[in-house]
Amino acid sequence: MQWVLQDFEDTRKLGDALTSLGRDVSWHKIVPFVGELAPPPVIKDPQAVVLFGAYSMWKYAEAQGLKPGVFRIAPFLQQSVWHPFLLNGADAQVMPFGECASRLDGVDRLWFLRPVEDSKEIPGRVMAAQEIADLSARVAALPEDELPVGSLRADTMVMLTEPQAIDEEWRLWVVADCIVTYSRYKQSGQVGYVHDIPEDALRFGQKMAQLNSGYAPAYVMDICRTERGLRIIETNGINAAGFYAADLEPLIHAIERLCEV
């Protein structure tokens, strides 16, 4: 397996683990949003290449016919089997971002906003309704040719949900429907990366992965503990997700096994 990595701090963690295992690794800069790699990698076998780094790397992988390349995922909001277990989303308001200006103008409340697709046009975060409306108006006022590639657009589908109180948050790495590693990344509202997870949270995550078996060959699932119990926050593409304090060797082995099938 050939591992093609974007050269930046977080991916260096994966590179160090790969190097210690004697794997074939190459490092590259990425043209933002376009996905072109510099320098272009020398591909030995297009059927045995995996890429980690910016979300836009999927474009390069697809254009070059690299397999497995980048593992794409469907929006978690569309997975009805998960709806009873979502932190928020099952009752989300979904609309083109351009409509937020008229629908939220003058509204005095907070919303959690994120794109429906795993597209990274804006990170999911809590924002005031008026802030969202003002941003929507600015985006809608710009001509298409003035919008940066990969940025929010008027037709970007977004979801708006009620902000929720969260006690702890974990990221789970799922490969072939099995959790292969994990990391806590927030507790009591404070960011802190620890390679630890309680048994009940691990069981919950595994149950959710099995419940939606075949969702994607590999992905990450963020889960949390709330006063209502354990919930799914969201899923993200595994190739562009931060590693936090995960043990990366099991992840490497799992991806390699997946690609040998």
pLDDT digits (tens, 9 = 90+) for 202-241: 999 999 999 999 999 999 999 999 998 999 999 999 999 9
Do 147 and 193 fall into the same domain?
no
For the chain, the domain total comes to 3
- pLDDT score for 122: 82
Report the pLDDT value the prediction gives residue 149, as an integer from 0 to 100.
Answer: 65
Same domain membership, residue 170 and residue 155: no
Spatial neighbors of 126 by CB under 8 A, at least 6 apart, are 110, 111, 112, 113, 163
Verify that 156 and 172 share a domain, yes or no.
no
Q: What are the helix (H) ranges across the chain?
A: 9-20, 57-64, 100-104, 129-141, 199-211, 248-260
Query: For residue 222, what are the domain limits?
Result: 165-260
Judgement on whether residues 146 and 169 belong to the same structural domain of the protein: no
| pLDDT recorded at residue 135 | 92
Residues 175 and 226 in one domain: yes
| Nearest-angstrom CA–CA distance, 121 and 104 | 20
The answer to whether 51 and 7 have CB atoms below 8 angstroms apart is no
For residue 159, list its beta bridge partners: 94, 114
Beta-strand pair 157-161/93-96: antiparallel
Query: Domain with 229 in it: what CATH number?
Result: 3.30.470.20
Check residue 175 and give its pLDDT: 98
**Torsion angles phi and psi, residue 160, rounded to 5:** -120, 125
Same domain (yes/no): 190, 144:
no
Give the residue ranges of the chain where pLDDT is below 50: none
Are residues 196 and 238 both part of a single domain? yes
Rg for the chain, CA atoms, rounded: 19
Q: Is residue 214 part of a domain?
A: yes
C-alpha 207/C-alpha 251 separation (Å) is 19
What is residue 261's predicted lDDT score, i.e. its pLDDT? 63
- Both 233 and 153 in a single domain? no
